[in-house]
Amino acid sequence: MATDAPSCRTKKGVFGGRWASPGRMDGGAGVRQMAGTSTNRSRSWAGLLLASAILLESCLPGFGLLSPGTPLARADDERGGDEPIVVAESPVAGAEAEDTPAAVESDASGEAQESAEPQPTAASDPPEEPLTAGPVETADNGVLASSPSHRIRIKLDVAGEIFAPAGRDVPPVRRPIAVDARFDFVETHSDEPGRGVTRRYRDAVADVRVDDAVRTTRLPPDARRLRAVLEGSTPMPWLETGFLSRAELDLLETPFDPLLLDRLLPEKPVTIGDSWTVSADAVAGLLAIDTVESGNLDAKLVEVVDGRAEVKLAGIIDGAVDGVPTHVVVEGACGAAASEVDGGVRVGDGIANLAVTIQERREASHVAPGFDVEARLTVARVSTEEQADAGGESAEPTGTEGRRRGSGRPGFVSHRDAVGRYDLVHDARWRAIEDGPEGLVMRYVDRGALVAQCSITALPRASSQSPPTIAEVERDLQRSLAGQFGRLEHSSEATRSDGVRLVRVVATGRADGLAFRWIHYVLTDADGDRLAATCTLEDSLEKRFGTADRELVDGIRLPAGVESGAETAGKDGSGPDREARLPQESRTP
């Protein structure tokens, strides 16, 4: 019985190309002692840009994250920005304090809603209010008051280019990109320590344009009420009774998240003209990068008028994201309440508005293309009596098709097979780089290092009375690895509480002169639905990888469940009856 063991016999090794060893990515900026570190497991404020990988595939067939043979580390001729970029000064931005509720979109989708063209705003939604210059005022004292709830509106415009290596000795492929994103939500702070905030989104949408192709991503109704907590200096949005998809998580990640804005303010009283340096940890979180290696983000108190302080921001930062360098230039300003105290002026009670220009050049990584962009971000925050945590889990009771339900937690996302053969909940450090008829391929990136790769393939249904034996799985794995096979390390079988039977076989061997480890699973449920999962890692990274394979497999459900009355494909949509084997040559570097 075929059990879909990995086929890794390639001239380029298991991961292919010059970046054959995931462990080799430990070097460089990703593991140096940094001035500041953010704990985000995906760290891509430009998660909005990652949607462009799909568009790149349509603009240029054979290119992009989803195409075979594309190395995802930086190209030799792609260097980080060495020279500082001059950025025009940005005015302080604000907003009108009108608090008209917006209607919740009623259409649902499997992930953050996407379409080939931008979707018009629903007729019931209020017209978008401009984020005008100047501080946000309230009826009480003219500045943002201390309040457990705030209405927050964010506008993000990005323009530049996205690029990725096209192969050895071939110039990187570049495409123009533009993003128009807007967010409108009420945020309520919890009285319980460590609970963070509750956010109820009125709207969260991004239009991503690559060349002439446009994709609109919108947060679906059943994900519009969520929680957000800080893990270190990283904001982590999550659902209490379900799991966000990767597309939804990427949409919600923006620079200068409101949870971190007050870290821009001084801890002690200052006088007009005084400057201070924002902590490196805060900078990493504010810019949504992994680490800050050098440079500073400086703030300066420019003026105080009628209890309102204007603070100028400027900085040049070099850091790393997913193990590759990034160069960021920031310039802008923010406004906050101020009061006179002994020794000067205390700036506090929350930032009411912010406007910054961010120029970033980021190299292509193991899991994402590179980009060179300029972003203009405005944030307006005003006190409100509205409570984000009033009501149920969502502003709309209808569920997204196939959303994985359960006790949600920060740092985990869900994935659903396109035709419903399986779904899974996994650590956000697993990043999908391929998802198609031949299966799902993910990479495990931990603190900038590429640790492992996993291929998940749905197999044709078989008789539940004759699931594969350990001996059959061992034989298939050994035959598939061929000359790379060394020896079998461990084999076991078990039955989960949901009746799914697991066979796990671990083998070691060598590829391109390096010691590798293959961890192969075959899952079979009581109805004969089957799935194969294979994790590949360099043997020296076994301790760092730990039990990540078991945790990943524990999150797999056969077949994908039906949640909240959503429909799933039946027999006609179950995919071709074929041995869904991995390709004979590695499709990924």
3-state secondary structure string across 104-148: CCCCCCCCCEEECCCCCCCCCCCCCCCCCECCCCCCCCCCCCCCC
Of 163, 379, 69, 362, the residue nearest 255 (C-alpha): 379
Asked if 379 and 93 count as a contact pair (C-beta separation under 8 A), the reply is yes
A 10 A CB-CB count for 517 gives 21
Q: Per residue of the chain (589 residues), what is the pLDDT tens digit?
A: 556 665 443 323 334 322 222 333 333 333 333 355 554 444 455 454 554 444 444 444 333 333 333 322 222 333 333 333 232 333 333 333 333 333 333 333 334 444 444 444 433 344 444 443 344 343 333 344 445 899 999 999 999 999 988 888 888 899 999 999 999 999 999 877 767 899 999 999 999 999 889 999 999 999 999 999 999 999 999 999 999 999 999 999 999 999 999 999 999 999 999 999 999 999 999 999 999 999 999 999 999 999 999 999 999 999 999 999 999 999 999 999 999 888 789 998 789 999 999 999 999 998 989 999 999 999 999 999 998 877 544 444 444 556 899 999 999 999 999 999 999 999 999 999 999 888 999 999 998 899 999 999 999 888 766 789 999 999 999 999 999 999 999 999 999 999 999 999 999 999 999 999 999 999 999 999 999 999 999 999 999 999 999 999 999 999 976 554 333 233 333 333 323 233 333 333 3
Dump strand ranges (E) for 418-500.
Answer: 423-427, 430-436, 439-446, 449-459, 485-495
Asked if 66 and 442 count as a contact pair (C-beta separation under 8 A), the reply is no
A 10 A CB-CB count for 471 gives 11
Give Cβ neighbours of residue 69 (< 8 Å, ≥ 6 apart). Answer: 16, 167, 587, 589
d(CA 253, CA 47): 7
Residues across the chain: 589
Rg (CA), the chain: 25
Alpha helix ranges (H) inside 191-309: 246-252, 280-287
3-state secondary structure string across 390-433: CCCCCCCCCCCCCCCECCCCCCEEEEECCCCCCEEEEECCEEEE
d(CA 318, CA 571): 52
Dihedral pair phi/psi, residue 514, rounded to 5°: -115, 145
Question: If you write DSSP's letter for every residue of 311-326 in order, what string do you get?
Answer: EEEEEEEEEEETTEEE
Residue 571: how many CA atoms within 13 Å on its side-chain side? Answer: 1
Residue in this structure with the two tokens 């350990």, named with its chain if needed: 470
Please tell me whether residue 54 adopts helix, strand or coil conformation.
helix
A 10 A CB-CB count for 236 gives 23
Note the Cα 508 to chain centre separation in Å. Answer: 32
For residue 53, what are its two tokens? 């990988």
Residue type, 494: A
Residue type, 198: T
Indicate the pTM of the whole model.
0.76
For residue 52, what are its two tokens? 């462009």
d(CA 441, CA 304): 54
**CA quadruple 108, 110, 113, 119: dihedral sign:** negative
Residue ranges, comma separated, of all CATH 3.40.1000.10 domains in the chain are: 22-31+417-573
3-state secondary structure string across 19-35: CCCHHHHHCHHHCCCCC
For residue 154, what are its two tokens? 């964010």
Asked if 306 and 142 count as a contact pair (C-beta separation under 8 A), the reply is yes
CA dihedral 328, 331, 336, 339 (to 10 degrees): 110
d(CA 255, CA 156): 9
Of 237, 135, 219, the residue nearest 182 (C-alpha): 219
Residues pairing with 356 in the sheet: 332, 377
Query: Looking at domain 22-31+417-573, which of 3.40.1280.10, 1.20.120.10, 3.40.50.300, 3.40.1000.10 is its CATH number?
Result: 3.40.1000.10
pLDDT at position 463: 73
A 10 A CB-CB count for 568 gives 20
Of 135, 143, 156, the residue nearest 206 (C-alpha): 156
Please tell me whether residue 542 adopts helix, strand or coil conformation.
helix
Give Cβ neighbours of residue 54 (< 8 Å, ≥ 6 apart). Answer: 64, 66, 215
Residue in this structure with the two tokens 């909940």, named with its chain if needed: 425
d(CA 199, CA 185): 6
Give Cβ neighbours of residue 577 (< 8 Å, ≥ 6 apart). Answer: 460, 461
Asked if 507 and 481 count as a contact pair (C-beta separation under 8 A), the reply is yes
